[in-house]
Amino acid sequence: MSCLDAAGRYPRRGRAPVAPVRLSVAPAIMVRMTTEPDALRTLARTHLPADLAARWTGLLRPAAHLRPAGAADPVVGRLGGLPRLPEGTDWPVWEGRGPLGFVAELDCAALPGEELDIPLPADGRLAFFYYGDEDDDALVDTADPDTWAGARVLHLPPASADAPVRPAPPGLTPYPELPLTVHMAPSAPDFDLPALTAACGEDAFPDAFERAIWDHQSGVAHQIGGHAQAVQGAVEIVVAHGALGGRDVSWEDPRLEEEAGRWVLLAQFDSDEDVDMMWGDCGALYWLIRPDDLAAGRFEKAMFTWQCC
């Protein structure tokens, strides 16, 4: 099967296979950050004139890249398993469809919030849910508010970490559990991002540079903050389209570029063989939010989109 994103675009980035890794969950603790070698700036210096390289690297943003935790790695969250939901918090449901799958949980206190340029909560946990029933053809469409109940993010209070594990609703099979650690590294803007075009112009980048960036981003990509690693085009444009009215708004609407600049990536979760997560055809899930809503804890204002090959 192949599929398009909500904007009707075809895939622009491939995925490299990953070897399965099965790990047990360890308690989340504060992590000492590891910064990767700055490969993106090296690629820019290699492929671009100095002035263009400087403008492009000026748009890089810090991102918390989530990876399977090894035995000695600090754990900041996990994919799959079952959530600890406090008393009075219902398991998210898409009315008329069914319960949402539990995708991931992250410990805000263990995430490197001071290293990022988005105002993450200082404590509590972020829990992400998505309706991924393979036997149902219902899709969450960013352009259709009637489907938005199919994706949720909850900010759970710190005390809820001691809540009992909530069993999955009848008929819902949990994803396998995989603990995550975090590595800080810069993230690159999508080549369709309006801010990049404004800074560097149309068609400014040689094909060799674009291919090098796509190769650098290949593989499984779970992430908090930074620029989204899009499977197709800039997810900010898709979210802006939904926020402005979705199906009632033309993709040529001049307001789209300005609105796209108001949204930042909260989290993305990729297709991952280690936990049997497959979003369409090797796709990814994205939650975006306006910074003022994030700072105020208005997670119900987050917008969801997804893309696949």
Go through 76-108 and write b for each residue having 16 or more CB atoms within 10 A of its CB, e for each that does not.
Answer: bbbbbbbbbbeeebebbbbeeebbbbbbbbbbb
The pTM (predicted TM-score) of the whole model is 0.88
pLDDT at position 5 over 50: no
Q: Tell me if residue 149 falls in helix, strand or coil.
A: helix
Q: Which residue has the higher pLDDT, 30 or 52?
A: 52
**pLDDT tens-digit series, residues 237-289:** 999 999 999 999 999 999 999 999 999 999 999 999 999 999 988 899 999 99
- pLDDT for 309 equals 80
Tokens of 106: 């992250």
Q: How far is CA 148 from the centre of its chain?
A: 16
Find the mean pLDDT for residues 200-214.
Answer: 95
Cα gap 236→260, rounded to integer Å? 5
Would the CA dihedral through 290, 292, 298, 299 be positive or negative?
positive
The answer to whether 13 and 230 have CB atoms below 8 angstroms apart is yes
- pLDDT for 11 equals 37
Place of tokens 């994030």: 294
For the chain, counts of helices (H) and of strands (E):
7, 12
Cα gap 275→305, rounded to integer Å? 21
pLDDT band at 19 (very low <50, low <70, confident <90, very high): very low
**pLDDT tens-digit series, residues 151-192:** 999 999 998 888 999 999 999 999 999 999 999 999 999 999
- pLDDT for 37 equals 55
- pLDDT for 78 equals 97
The answer to whether 75 and 105 have CB atoms below 8 angstroms apart is no
Give the count of beta carbons closer than 10 Å to the beta carbon of residue 298: 13
pLDDT at position 8 over 70: no
Cα gap 140→130, rounded to integer Å? 9
